[in-house]
Copies of this chain bind each other. A is one copy, B any other.
Amino acid sequence: MLTRELIVETAMQLADADGIDKMSMRRLATELDCGVMSLYHYVADKDALIEALVDQVASEVAPPAADTPWREAAQELAAATLAAQLNHPWVISIWSMTWPGPHRFALIERLLEALAQADLPADIADLGFHALTNHIQGFAQQRLAFGQLEAQADETAGRVAAIMGSDEFPRVIDHIAFHQHDETDRDEFRFTLDLILDGLERHAS
Protein backbone atom coordinates (compact mmCIF):
# COMPACT_ATOMS: atom_id res chain seq x y z
CA MET A 1 0.00 0.00 0.00
CA LEU A 2 1.25 3.43 -0.97
CA THR A 3 1.30 6.11 1.72
CA ARG A 4 2.79 9.56 2.01
CA GLU A 5 5.10 8.35 4.76
CA LEU A 6 6.39 5.49 2.62
CA ILE A 7 7.02 7.85 -0.27
CA VAL A 8 8.94 10.32 1.90
CA GLU A 9 10.93 7.52 3.49
CA THR A 10 11.89 6.00 0.17
CA ALA A 11 12.72 9.39 -1.29
CA MET A 12 15.00 10.01 1.71
CA GLN A 13 16.80 6.74 1.03
CA LEU A 14 17.31 7.65 -2.61
CA ALA A 15 18.55 11.13 -1.77
CA ASP A 16 20.89 9.87 0.95
CA ALA A 17 22.26 7.19 -1.33
CA ASP A 18 22.73 9.09 -4.58
CA GLY A 19 22.02 12.77 -3.95
CA ILE A 20 18.97 14.89 -4.58
CA ASP A 21 19.56 15.00 -8.34
CA LYS A 22 19.08 11.26 -8.60
CA MET A 23 15.92 11.37 -6.48
CA SER A 24 13.56 11.62 -9.43
CA MET A 25 9.86 10.93 -9.41
CA ARG A 26 10.45 8.22 -11.95
CA ARG A 27 13.14 6.43 -9.96
CA LEU A 28 10.97 6.77 -6.89
CA ALA A 29 8.07 5.13 -8.73
CA THR A 30 10.12 2.17 -9.92
CA GLU A 31 11.55 1.80 -6.40
CA LEU A 32 8.00 1.73 -5.03
CA ASP A 33 6.71 -0.48 -7.82
CA CYS A 34 4.00 1.90 -8.90
CA GLY A 35 3.27 4.21 -11.81
CA VAL A 36 4.91 7.61 -11.67
CA MET A 37 1.60 9.39 -11.54
CA SER A 38 0.43 7.46 -8.52
CA LEU A 39 2.86 9.48 -6.44
CA TYR A 40 0.97 12.63 -7.28
CA HIS A 41 -1.95 11.48 -5.19
CA TYR A 42 0.11 11.83 -2.03
CA VAL A 43 2.32 14.72 -2.99
CA ALA A 44 1.35 17.86 -4.90
CA ASP A 45 4.67 18.35 -6.56
CA LYS A 46 8.27 17.31 -6.56
CA ASP A 47 8.86 20.55 -4.65
CA ALA A 48 6.31 19.59 -2.01
CA LEU A 49 8.03 16.25 -1.61
CA ILE A 50 11.38 17.98 -1.16
CA GLU A 51 9.90 20.26 1.47
CA ALA A 52 8.71 17.21 3.37
CA LEU A 53 12.15 15.68 3.02
CA VAL A 54 13.88 18.77 4.38
CA ASP A 55 11.57 18.90 7.38
CA GLN A 56 12.27 15.25 8.01
CA VAL A 57 15.93 16.15 8.34
CA ALA A 58 15.01 19.00 10.69
CA SER A 59 13.11 16.49 12.82
CA GLU A 60 16.37 14.68 13.52
CA VAL A 61 17.67 17.66 15.46
CA ALA A 62 16.92 17.24 19.16
CA PRO A 63 16.26 20.70 20.64
CA PRO A 64 18.13 21.46 23.89
CA ALA A 65 16.23 21.23 27.18
CA ALA A 66 14.23 24.31 28.12
CA ASP A 67 16.41 25.20 31.10
CA THR A 68 19.70 25.11 29.17
CA PRO A 69 21.62 28.39 29.55
CA TRP A 70 21.23 30.44 26.38
CA ARG A 71 24.79 30.16 25.17
CA GLU A 72 24.93 26.41 25.53
CA ALA A 73 21.52 26.11 23.94
CA ALA A 74 22.73 28.07 20.93
CA GLN A 75 25.86 25.94 20.70
CA GLU A 76 23.91 22.71 20.97
CA LEU A 77 21.39 23.80 18.36
CA ALA A 78 24.12 24.87 15.99
CA ALA A 79 26.11 21.66 16.41
CA ALA A 80 23.05 19.41 16.13
CA THR A 81 21.77 21.24 13.04
CA LEU A 82 25.15 20.97 11.39
CA ALA A 83 25.35 17.27 12.22
CA ALA A 84 21.90 16.58 10.77
CA GLN A 85 22.79 18.45 7.59
CA LEU A 86 26.07 16.60 7.18
CA ASN A 87 24.15 13.36 7.70
CA HIS A 88 22.09 14.23 4.63
CA PRO A 89 24.54 16.23 2.53
CA TRP A 90 22.05 16.81 -0.27
CA VAL A 91 20.00 18.98 2.09
CA ILE A 92 22.73 21.58 2.49
CA SER A 93 22.25 23.31 -0.84
CA ILE A 94 18.46 23.51 -0.51
CA TRP A 95 17.94 23.96 3.26
CA SER A 96 17.76 27.73 3.23
CA MET A 97 15.79 27.86 -0.02
CA THR A 98 12.83 25.82 1.18
CA TRP A 99 10.03 27.20 3.30
CA PRO A 100 10.41 25.76 6.81
CA GLY A 101 8.13 22.92 7.86
CA PRO A 102 6.91 22.47 11.43
CA HIS A 103 10.07 20.80 12.70
CA ARG A 104 12.33 23.46 11.32
CA PHE A 105 10.09 26.19 12.68
CA ALA A 106 10.45 24.56 16.08
CA LEU A 107 14.24 24.83 15.78
CA ILE A 108 14.01 28.45 14.71
CA GLU A 109 11.69 29.15 17.64
CA ARG A 110 14.11 27.45 20.03
CA LEU A 111 17.08 29.48 18.81
CA LEU A 112 15.12 32.72 19.06
CA GLU A 113 14.10 31.64 22.55
CA ALA A 114 17.73 31.12 23.53
CA LEU A 115 18.64 34.56 22.22
CA ALA A 116 15.71 36.09 24.07
CA GLN A 117 17.20 34.80 27.30
CA ALA A 118 20.51 36.47 26.58
CA ASP A 119 19.41 39.97 27.61
CA LEU A 120 20.31 41.46 24.27
CA PRO A 121 18.62 44.51 22.77
CA ALA A 122 15.81 43.18 20.57
CA ASP A 123 17.42 44.12 17.25
CA ILE A 124 20.75 42.59 18.30
CA ALA A 125 18.95 39.34 19.04
CA ASP A 126 17.37 39.36 15.59
CA LEU A 127 20.66 40.16 13.92
CA GLY A 128 22.35 37.51 16.04
CA PHE A 129 19.82 34.94 14.90
CA HIS A 130 20.87 35.47 11.31
CA ALA A 131 24.54 35.61 12.22
CA LEU A 132 24.19 32.16 13.76
CA THR A 133 22.06 30.53 11.08
CA ASN A 134 24.20 32.03 8.32
CA HIS A 135 27.27 30.61 10.00
CA ILE A 136 25.76 27.14 10.17
CA GLN A 137 24.72 27.38 6.54
CA GLY A 138 28.01 28.81 5.30
CA PHE A 139 30.05 26.27 7.22
CA ALA A 140 27.96 23.32 6.08
CA GLN A 141 28.29 24.43 2.48
CA GLN A 142 32.03 24.77 2.77
CA ARG A 143 32.30 21.31 4.28
CA LEU A 144 30.13 19.90 1.52
CA ALA A 145 32.31 21.49 -1.13
CA PHE A 146 35.36 20.06 0.59
CA GLY A 147 33.78 16.63 0.68
CA GLN A 148 32.91 16.76 -3.02
CA LEU A 149 36.48 17.66 -3.85
CA GLU A 150 37.80 14.72 -1.87
CA ALA A 151 35.29 12.42 -3.56
CA GLN A 152 36.65 13.40 -6.98
CA ALA A 153 40.17 12.82 -5.75
CA ASP A 154 41.79 12.32 -9.15
CA GLU A 155 40.47 15.48 -10.70
CA THR A 156 41.17 17.50 -7.56
CA ALA A 157 44.70 16.24 -7.11
CA GLY A 158 45.69 17.58 -10.51
CA ARG A 159 44.11 20.93 -9.87
CA VAL A 160 45.68 21.31 -6.44
CA ALA A 161 49.05 20.33 -7.93
CA ALA A 162 48.64 23.02 -10.58
CA ILE A 163 48.14 25.68 -7.91
CA MET A 164 50.93 24.37 -5.70
CA GLY A 165 53.26 24.32 -8.70
CA SER A 166 52.59 27.87 -9.84
CA ASP A 167 53.91 30.89 -7.96
CA GLU A 168 50.92 33.08 -8.63
CA PHE A 169 49.12 32.53 -5.34
CA PRO A 170 51.63 32.04 -2.52
CA ARG A 171 49.12 32.71 0.26
CA VAL A 172 46.75 30.16 -1.22
CA ILE A 173 49.54 27.61 -1.19
CA ASP A 174 50.15 28.25 2.51
CA HIS A 175 46.45 27.99 3.20
CA ILE A 176 46.21 24.65 1.40
CA ALA A 177 49.11 23.43 3.52
CA PHE A 178 47.12 24.45 6.58
CA HIS A 179 44.26 22.26 5.41
CA GLN A 180 46.54 19.36 4.71
CA HIS A 181 47.83 19.02 8.28
CA ASP A 182 44.53 19.96 9.71
CA GLU A 183 43.85 18.47 13.12
CA THR A 184 41.45 21.22 14.16
CA ASP A 185 38.62 19.61 12.23
CA ARG A 186 35.94 20.06 14.85
CA ASP A 187 37.18 23.30 16.33
CA GLU A 188 36.77 25.23 13.10
CA PHE A 189 33.02 25.32 13.47
CA ARG A 190 33.24 26.28 17.14
CA PHE A 191 35.84 28.95 16.48
CA THR A 192 33.56 31.17 14.42
CA LEU A 193 30.56 30.24 16.50
CA ASP A 194 32.38 31.55 19.56
CA LEU A 195 33.46 34.69 17.74
CA ILE A 196 29.80 35.40 17.08
CA LEU A 197 28.55 34.44 20.54
CA ASP A 198 31.32 36.47 22.21
CA GLY A 199 30.44 39.43 20.06
CA LEU A 200 26.76 39.13 20.91
CA GLU A 201 27.49 38.86 24.62
CA ARG A 202 29.41 42.08 24.40
CA HIS A 203 26.20 43.72 23.19
CA ALA A 204 24.26 42.52 26.25
CA SER A 205 22.38 45.29 27.97
Instruction: Report which A residues bind B (CB closer than 8 A).
Output: 93, 96-97, 99, 105-106, 108-109, 112-113, 116, 122-123, 126-127, 129-131, 133-139, 141-142, 144-145, 148-149, 156, 159, 163, 168-172, 174-175, 178-179, 184, 188, 191-192, 194-196, 198-200
A93–B141 Cα distance when bound, in Å, is 9
Closest residue of B by beta carbon distance from A134: B138
Is B199 a contact partner of A123 (Cβ separation < 8 A)?
Answer: no
Chain B, residue nearest A115 (CB): B171
Q: How many copies does the complex hold?
A: 2
CB distance from A186 to the nearest CB of B (A): 12
Q: Which residues of B contact A138 (CB under 8 A)?
A: 133-139, 141
User: Do the beta carbons of B99 and A159 come within 8 Å of each other?
Assistant: yes
Cross-chain contact B123 with A178 (CB below 8 angstroms): yes
Instruction: Please list the 3 inter-chain residue pairs (A to B) with the smallest Cβ-Cβ separation, ordered nearest first.
Output: A134-B138, A138-B138, A195-B199
Tell me if A131 and B192 are in contact (CB < 8 A). Answer: yes
Expressed in whole angstroms, the Cα–Cα distance for A178 and B116 within the complex equals 14
Contact B184 A195 (CB under 8 A): no
- In the bound complex, residues from chain B placing their C-beta under 8 Å from that of A126 are 175, 178-179
How distant is A193 from chain B, measured CB to nearest CB, in Å?
A: 10
Contacts of A144 in B (CB 8 A): 96-97
